[in-house]
Structure 1
């Protein structure tokens, strides 16, 4: 089926409008449907509900961008355009993802913000589950399709006649075997491959139009896409790379505390990072010479300083903002640390 570009753009705008309306209606429901919620994320959402301001709403983007890479989930096949207004954030997921640059370009981050690939027009990247990555489009004109593929959409029997040394087949075999960790991502140069361009556009069309039998149609298009990728010459495969599992280190732990100081606890962070609470506590003490509690208190009081000097919020409001629900306890901590009360600090204009 041939889809005119005007029709494709109309479908993109239709889907984007539906997504924005859903976000406006209930952002927490959308996040809960899209992410495997960890304890810190849930505490963050609770904090937003209790102390909702325009600034806090913007902090959702900063939280997702700077916290430990969240895990995304899906129940079924999904395809959409990468939102050019969304800040790039590192994440991983429980499915295979195909990202195709239909128009323009994008930056593709693998494992960290330092390891970035620049994907050009008509290039396609497939990333395996559990690989930390993020996408950043560079302008509103860029059109990058994100395609989320559950493993039950991939039936390897239909590729049995294809040699197992073919890179694309090897990639899928690794992806479907949880015990295999190689073949983390693969990039194809598809310039001049109009059939692949058409297959991806047709998958998007079927998904958005949601006509009778769309699911079967998508599976057929997807199978044809994989077969055509298996036929690609190795010279057109820009990258086939193995990435080691990301090692958690003290820098990331401290960054998590710094970004989530309002609601973070040692227990929740230990569970989210899959560390024993005592081990995490010792790691922090060995590297900072401070306990988790003292470090957290220091960060909170530093933010309280800023709010006292640069806002008109009451001391009670500031206490809540920095993570203390009991104003009297905040008052005592502040006076013990600075030698004066929060009100005296504000009046004196100390820095």
Structure 2
């Protein structure tokens, strides 16, 4: 499920947008610009056989329709947080393309020209946050984490030109129930007309932002489309490692990014001090620790989820990296150290 747009006419492609007449679109100097004219709204988009099912949840309303997938580079007047519920999609950001899978997310500032291409059976949810809503939400918030800092910096007038976004890569090969519950709760509060809904909506948005900032659930990477080529490539290498939970080789990354593996290895080591192999080991170890502490999964299941060929290999790897067996690590770690 993904976001709904107001569909103006582009060339010969005219779409019926009667249910969404509260959305506005006009052309900026370079791209059509889309606005909800609402402080807060949710959009869902689900790929069907030949068309896409669009659903919009706004103040006391829920509307939906089927149409072709909207694949025109555009800008939103709002900040946009998208979360992939199932399947995969390609996020086209300017002249670059990025693959997102279920459990991944992305936060775009209003300067980002973009559109999405959904694979079959893909569902995405979009949360649109107006500048006014965010300014009011964050004015008395003292959170200094990277996500909150990104939003506060992006809201400053001197940064309005920057083409920046944050990519969230899920750390664990398990379902993130907390994020889904928060989106469901926010949808219910948007569709209701009960007293106090505005306060509940703000609280749910804050909790959702905090959930995405949870480093045990997500790895956050901030991208600037105007950054140097080297910085951009290093971010893409890190994404590939995180996306595969550390179970990735230099050759895999070379094939994905179409750059020489040795060149990418040098760039990563220059910026992080770690080779691709070292960085992958670090991520694999971190994810194993998180699963051992935060779940009751059998050790053989954890080994399987992280791509180890068997439990014995996982045991040897973990003991070498951490200094004790997976069972001992789980038994001696505080069970209260949960990730939700």
TM-score (norm 1): 0.48
Q: Which has the higher helix share?
A: 1
Q: Determine which structure has the larger strand proportion and give its number.
A: 2
Please identify the structure whose Cα radius of gyration is greater: 1
TM-score norm. by structure 2 comes to: 0.49
Report 1 or 2 for greater relative contact order, CA contacts < 8 Å, sequence distance ≥ 6. Answer: 1
